[in-house]
Amino acid sequence: MSAGTALVTEPSLPKVLLADDHHLILDALGAMMKSEFNVLAVDNSQAFIEAVEDFQPDVAILDVSMPGGDGFITARKVLERKPSLPIVFLSMYADSSYVEQAAQMGAKAYLSKRAPAQELLSAIHAVLEGETLLPATAGKEGAGLPGGKSELTARQREVLRLIAMGCSAKDIANQLNISVRTAEFHRAAIMQRLGLHSTAQMTRYAIANEIA
């Protein structure tokens, strides 16, 4: 797979470049994303760098730890050539220092591999629309990591506040200048992260945590 494996070839779909050294993860993520994205999967840093040039992805997802080079160094090399390419880190490392490094180098999101699948899809759609999905506390001591229940991203807090105000997905999309689909993805991701199951529960959470 060092040269890259195309998982979907529908040209009209957004292009996602996916890099991980575990083929099981590549296969699982590719299967999950195939209906919404044109995915190219690679399993090492050099192949990732080459695929950015050859595949011209709309968003790139990679692990922090990759064969052939550190994920941050690899991403930095890519961003020197393609500064507008949205980079999403998907990693098992939850230490806030990793999130801080991702933020400093210009990544658009840093997600835990423990996060629900819906959250990754939400992140891809969001960064494609120009959003940055790093924790609201990124850069502060003890910053939380997306994929855990302790912290919402700044955008998720905005969405939750609007939900608590009684706004529909269409209202949220209009106010935040995002698509209705992305608003719905954010809502689902918030519910999964916080373990909530209804609008009423989300509203109570927002009020209790001074978000609304």
- What are 133-162's pLDDT values in tens digits? 776 444 444 344 444 444 777 888 899 999
Which segment, 37-46, 63-72, 85-94, 110-119, is predicted with the most confidence on average? 37-46
pLDDT of residue 99: 83
**Residue tagged 């961003």 (tokens):** 79
Mean pLDDT, the chain, rounded, equals 83
- pLDDT surpasses 80 at 5: no
Reported confidence tier of residue 183, pLDDT bands at 50, 70, 90: confident
Q: Phi/psi at 165 (nearest 5 deg)?
A: -85, 0
- Please indicate, yes or no, whether the overall pTM of this predicted structure exceeds 0.75: no
Instruction: Walk across the sheet containing 15-19 and list its strands.
Output: 5-6, 38-42, 15-19, 59-62, 87-91, 109-112
Tokens of 39: 């995915």
| Own/partner pairs, 194-203, CB within 8 angstroms, 24+ separation | 194/149, 194/152, 195/149, 199/163, 202/160, 202/163, 202/164, 203/163, 203/164
On whether the CB atoms of residues 112 and 147 are closer than 8 A, the answer is: yes
Domains of the chain: 5-128 (3.40.50.2300), 154-207 (1.10.10.10)
- Checking DSSP bridges between strand 69-70 and strand 87-91, what pairing results, if any? unpaired
* Residue of 21, 16, 7, 103 whose CA lies nearest to 52: 16
pLDDT digits (tens, 9 = 90+) for 76-103: 999 999 999 999 998 887 777 788 888 8
Q: In the chain, pLDDT over 90 holds for what percent of residues?
A: 38
The residues that bridge with 112 in the sheet, in sequence order, are 91
pLDDT of residue 49: 94
Concatenate the DSSP letters of all residues of 105-125 into one string: HT-SEEEETTS-HHHHHHHHH
pLDDT of residue 138: 45
- pLDDT surpasses 70 at 171: yes
pLDDT digits (tens, 9 = 90+) for 6-20: 555 556 899 999 999
* Residue of 101, 113, 131 whose CA lies nearest to 26: 113
pLDDT of residue 9: 52
